[in-house]
Amino acid sequence: MKADHRLFFALVPEPAVISRIEALQDSLPVSGRAARPHQFHATLAFLGMQRQDTIPVIRAIASGLTLKPCCLELDCLGRFKRAGVLWLGVSKVPAALREFQQSLVSALADAGIGHDPKPWEFHVTLYRKLRKAPPIIDPVAIEWAVTGFDLVESVNAGNGVEYHSIGHWKAGQ
């Protein structure tokens, strides 16, 4: 087993939500590299490279937190211009989710687990290497019932990266 693991906590949509996001992605007249639907997620905290021996600590932190079930409405597109990323987001993050995300990063910091300190912005990446601004599109509204969160490992593969859930916690538990 390798010594370092590239990790992040994420919300992973259910298959029906993935299908709706994929349909929206396919309908957009943009040039760029499409994110693969089986990798759609919303990052809660990016931990970067972590040693094998920190994974039990990270799991214990997650086990000590409770995510309240909530519903999101994916209803807006945004762009990280410098990174060339087009994303799908929410115009309003439910308070329960925002509080959970803040509790998660606080617990990680208290345990001395490094994580990306940038302000959190809920988003699901649709395209990378976007070459020009996306067009104006009709309003969207994709409902997403949040039922849990995952600890995900990003593994280099021959054709990019693969994401593997190495821990899942149900909402409300």
Q: Which domains, and CATH codes, for the chain?
A: 36-170 (3.90.1140.10)
Residue 1 has pLDDT above 80, yes or no: no
Rg over CA atoms, the chain: 16
Close Cβ partners of 80 (under 8 Å, ≥ 6 residues apart):
87
How far, in Å, are 12, 17, 153 from residue 63 at the CA level? 17, 26, 17
Tell me how far the alpha carbon of residue 38 is from its chain's centroid: 12
- The predicted-structure confidence for 41-91, as pLDDT tens digits, reads as follows 999 999 999 999 999 999 999 999 999 999 999 999 988 888 889 999 999
N residues, the chain:
173
Cβ(12)–Cβ(38) under 8 Å? no
Going from the C-alpha of 22 to that of each of 56, 88, 118, 166, the distances in angstroms are 34, 11, 27, 24
Summarised one tens digit per residue, pLDDT across range 114-143 is 878 888 999 999 999 987 777 777 778 999
Q: What would the two tokens of residue 52 be?
A: 């094998």
